[in-house]
Amino acid sequence: MYLHLGQSVVVPYRDVIGLFDMDNTTSSHLTRRFLERSEKEGRLEMVGDDIPKAFVLCGRQGEKSRIYLSQLSTATLKGRAEGNQFTLD
C-alpha cells in the first residue's frame, strides 16, 4: 500500500516512520535543526506550494531517511494511512 502525501507524491506505507505536526514539533530547536540539516543534505522534499502543515519521516534500513513537507494535516495523513486510501487531490 501507498500513502498519498499531496500533489502527486506517494510513498510506500512500509517506509513511513512517523507523521509530525509542524506547529507542535517546530517549537523545539532540535526539530528545527534536524529539518535544516536534512535540507542541507538534500533529504528534504517540499510537497506542493502551500505552507506545510506536517512532515513525514520515511526511510528503510540501511538508507538515509527522507523528509517530506506536506500541506496536508497529520489528521488527514493518519486517516489515509489507517484507511489505506489512495486518492489524488
Higher pLDDT, 49 or 89: 49
What per-residue confidence (pLDDT) applies to 54? 96
Q: How do residues 36-79 score in pLDDT, each as one tens digit?
A: 999 999 999 999 899 999 999 999 888 889 999 999 999 999 98
Mean pLDDT (the chain) is 90
Q: What is the full DSSP assignment across 6-62? A: ETTEEEEGGGEEEEEEHHHHTTSHHHHHHHHHHHHTT-EEEESSSPP-EEEEE--TT
What per-residue confidence (pLDDT) applies to 84? 65
